[in-house]
A and B are shown apart, each in its own frame.
Chain A
Amino acid sequence: MNQDSLQINSSGQLRHFLSISGLNRQILNDILDTAESFAGVTAQSVKKVPLLRGKTIVNLFFEASTRTRTTFELAAKRLSADVLNINITQSSATKGETLLDTLRNLEAMHVDMFIVRHADSGAAHFIASNVATHTRVINAGDGRHSHPTQAMLDMFTIRRIKGPDFGRLRVAIVGDILHSRVARSQIHALNLLNTGEVRIVAPRTLLPAHAESLGAHVFHNLQEGIRDVDVIIMLRLQHERMQGALLPSEHEYFELFGLTEEKLAFASPEVTVMHPGPINRGVEMDSEVADGPRSVILEQVTHGIAVRMAVMSMAMSSKNTIAG
Chain B
Amino acid sequence: MPAANEQQRIRISGGRVIDPASGVDSIQDMYVAAGRIVSMGQAPDGFTSDREIDASGQVVCPGLIDLCARLREPGQEHKATIASESLAAASGGVTTLCCPPDTHPVIDTPAVTEFIRLRAEAAGKARIVTLGALTQGLGGEQLSEMAALRKAGCVGVSNAMQPLRNPLVQRRALEYAATHGLTVFLYPNDHWLANSGCAHEGRVATRLGLPGIPEAAETTAVAGDLALIEQTGVRAHFCRLTTGRAVQMVARAQFDRAPVTADVAIPYLYLSEVDISDFDSRCHLLPPLRTVEDRQRLRDALQQGTLSAICSDHQPHEPDAKLRPFPATEPGISGLDSLLPLSLQLVDEQAIELGDLIHRLTAGPATILGLPFGTLAVGAIADICIFHPELTWQLDTGTIQSRGHNTPFMGREFKGRVTHTLLAGNMVYSLGGAN
A1-56 residues with Cβ-Cβ distance < 8 A to B are: 1-3, 21
Q: Establish whether residues A209 and B326, one from each chain, have CB atoms under 8 Å apart when the complex forms.
A: no
Q: Establish whether residues B207 and A100, one from each chain, have CB atoms under 8 Å apart when the complex forms.
A: no
Neighbouring A residues of B205 by C-beta, 8 Å: 208-209
Asked if A170 is at the interface of the complex by the 8 Å CB criterion, the answer is no
Neighbouring B residues of A144 by C-beta, 8 Å: 209-211
| Given A2-B278, A144-B211, A120-B327 contact (CB < 8 Å) | yes
Neighbouring A residues of B278 by C-beta, 8 Å: 1-3, 125
Q: Establish whether residues B209 and A209, one from each chain, have CB atoms under 8 Å apart when the complex forms.
A: no
Neighbouring B residues of A146 by C-beta, 8 Å: 209
Asked if B324 is at the interface of the complex by the 8 Å CB criterion, the answer is yes
A150-195 residues with Cβ-Cβ distance < 8 A to B are: 181, 184
| Given A208-B212, A209-B202, A209-B212, A98-B320 contact (CB < 8 Å) | yes
Neighbouring A residues of B207 by C-beta, 8 Å: 21, 184, 213-214
| Given A2-B278, A125-B278, A125-B279, A211-B326 contact (CB < 8 Å) | no
A123 and B278 CA atoms in complex are apart in Å by: 11
Neighbouring B residues of A181 by C-beta, 8 Å: 209
Q: How far is the CB of A88 from chain B (nearest CB, A)?
A: 13
Q: Establish whether residues A143 and B327, one from each chain, have CB atoms under 8 Å apart when the complex forms.
A: yes
Q: Establish whether residues A214 and B206, one from each chain, have CB atoms under 8 Å apart when the complex forms.
A: yes
Q: How far is the CB of A60 from chain B (nearest CB, A)?
A: 13
Neighbouring A residues of B431 by C-beta, 8 Å: none
A98 and B328 CA atoms in complex are apart in Å by: 11
A123 and B212 CA atoms in complex are apart in Å by: 17
Neighbouring B residues of A120 by C-beta, 8 Å: 324-328
| Given A1-B278, A2-B278, A122-B279, A208-B206 contact (CB < 8 Å) | yes
Q: A130-154 CB contact bits vs B (8 Å, 1 = yes)?
A: 1000000000001111100000000
Q: B234-266 CB contact bits vs A (8 Å, 1 = yes)?
A: 000000000000000000000000000000000
Q: Establish whether residues B202 and A210, one from each chain, have CB atoms under 8 Å apart when the complex forms.
A: yes
Q: Establish whether residues A142 and B324, one from each chain, have CB atoms under 8 Å apart when the complex forms.
A: no
Asked if A121 is at the interface of the complex by the 8 Å CB criterion, the answer is yes
Number of A-B contacts (CB under 8 A): 80
Asked if B208 is at the interface of the complex by the 8 Å CB criterion, the answer is yes
Q: Establish whether residues B325 and A122, one from each chain, have CB atoms under 8 Å apart when the complex forms.
A: yes
Give how many B residues have a beta carbon under 8 Å from the other chain's beta carbons: 22
A184 and B277 CA atoms in complex are apart in Å by: 15
Q: B210-236 CB contact bits vs A (8 Å, 1 = yes)?
A: 111010000000000000000000000
| Given A3-B278, A143-B327, A184-B202 contact (CB < 8 Å) | no
A106-128 residues with Cβ-Cβ distance < 8 A to B are: 118, 120-123, 125-126
A73-127 residues with Cβ-Cβ distance < 8 A to B are: 98-100, 118, 120-123, 125-126
A47 and B277 CA atoms in complex are apart in Å by: 41
A123 and B328 CA atoms in complex are apart in Å by: 9
| Given A3-B278, A209-B201, A98-B209 contact (CB < 8 Å) | no
Most A CB within 10 A of own CB, among B202, B209, B212, B327: B209
Task: Select B326's contact among A1, A126, A184, A210, beta carbons within 8 Å.
Answer: A126
Task: Select B324's contact among A99, A210, A211, beta carbons within 8 Å.
Answer: A99
Q: B181-203 CB contact bits vs A (8 Å, 1 = yes)?
A: 00000000000000000000111
Asked if B371 is at the interface of the complex by the 8 Å CB criterion, the answer is no
Q: How far is the CB of A96 from chain B (nearest CB, A)?
A: 12
Minimum CB distance partner of A147 in chain B: B209
Asked if B168 is at the interface of the complex by the 8 Å CB criterion, the answer is no
Q: Establish whether residues A100 and B212, one from each chain, have CB atoms under 8 Å apart when the complex forms.
A: no
Q: Establish whether residues A99 and B325, one from each chain, have CB atoms under 8 Å apart when the complex forms.
A: yes
Task: Select A122's contact among B202, B203, B214, B327, beta carbons within 8 Å.
Answer: B327
Q: How far is the CB of A71 from chain B (nearest CB, A)?
A: 22
Minimum CB distance partner of B326 in chain A: A122
Asked if B347 is at the interface of the complex by the 8 Å CB criterion, the answer is no
A147 and B348 CA atoms in complex are apart in Å by: 44
Supply 10 further A-B pairs (C-beta < 8 A) apart from A120-B325, A208-B205: A98-B323, A120-B327, A121-B325, A121-B326, A125-B279, A143-B209, A184-B209, A210-B202, A210-B206, A213-B203
> Can you spell out 28 A-B residue pairs with CB atoms less than 8 angstroms apart?
A3-B279, A98-B323, A100-B320, A100-B324, A120-B325, A121-B210, A121-B211, A121-B279, A122-B210, A122-B279, A122-B327, A126-B324, A143-B209, A143-B325, A143-B327, A144-B211, A145-B210, A146-B209, A181-B209, A184-B209, A208-B201, A208-B212, A209-B205, A209-B206, A209-B214, A210-B206, A211-B206, A214-B206
Sorted from nearest, which 3 A-B pairs have the closest CB atoms?
A: A144-B209, A145-B209, A122-B279
